[in-house]
Amino acid sequence: MFSQNPEGLNSHLLIERLKYPLLKRDVVQLAKTYADLGYDLEKLLSLTLHSSHAISFHSAWVFENICTLNPNILDSSLPIIIEYLRKVKNTGVQRHFSKLVSIGLKRLLNKKKDELFQIEQWQVYAAQLEEVCFNWLLDEDCQPAIKSNSLEILSLLSKYQTWIAGALPPIAQNLMEMSSPALRIKCKKVLMMLK
């Protein structure tokens, strides 16, 4: 078991462990072990594209907890998470990654404010986020948590991409009519912020 022998964590053992059910405490322990050993985070992210639903979901969950333990990892990993956001099909991974992007984007904007979107590469990332998030908002089968995170991401981007501020209210109003209570609350917050 990893919690008893963290030195035994290698790629094969990690994949084996991610195949089986995990409790929150297991995920937190794996995240701590993974971070303490300096394991290759890109390898962990690549596992989020694994064909096994359990491995891809658990990889994203462990990665989210690594970022929670060390937000600087989130800051430096945000561009690659945005790249992966477009590729992942597992809705659990989409939920974890959209949450991380929302938190990470908020952190970066608090640090760098207006300079961020003057960087050409961040203009590309913003365009990718706009496309993915609007697609999820319009997808009737998309989970409410993913839509909520998408609303948050787009509301952050709307401060720098003014066209989003005009496009988002009708979508948020439509979502309020046919969504979960938590998503309705998020829609109301976004609508208030955009006024």
DSSP notation for 92-132: HHHHHHHHHHHHHHHHHHHHHGGGGGGSHHHHHHHHHHHHH
In angstroms, the Cα distances linking 83 to 49, 65, 132 are 12, 19, 10
The DSSP output letter for 114 is: G
Residue 111 banded pLDDT, cuts 50, 70, 90: confident
**Which tokens in the block code for residue 50?**
């694994």
pTM recorded for the entire structure: 0.87
- What pLDDT is recorded for position 45? 92
> Could you report how far apart the first and last alpha carbons of the chain are, in Å?
53
Kindly state the tokens that stand for 30. Answer: 């794996």
Distance CA 21, CA 106 (A): 32
Among 1-5, 39-43, 84-88, 140-144, the range scoring the smallest mean pLDDT is 1-5
pLDDT digits (tens, 9 = 90+) for 146-186: 999 999 999 999 988 889 999 999 999 999 888 889 899 99
How many other CB atoms are found less than 10 A from the CB of residue 169?
15
The pLDDT of residue 114: 63
Task: Give the span between the Cα atoms of 121 and 79, in whole angstroms.
Answer: 9
Q: What is the pLDDT of residues 42-84, one digit of tens each?
A: 889 999 999 999 999 999 999 999 999 889 999 989 999 999 9
Question: Domain-by-domain residue ranges, the chain?
Answer: 6-141
Interior/surface letters 81-102, b for 16+ CB within 10 angstroms, e for the rest = bbebbeebebbbbbbbbbbbbb
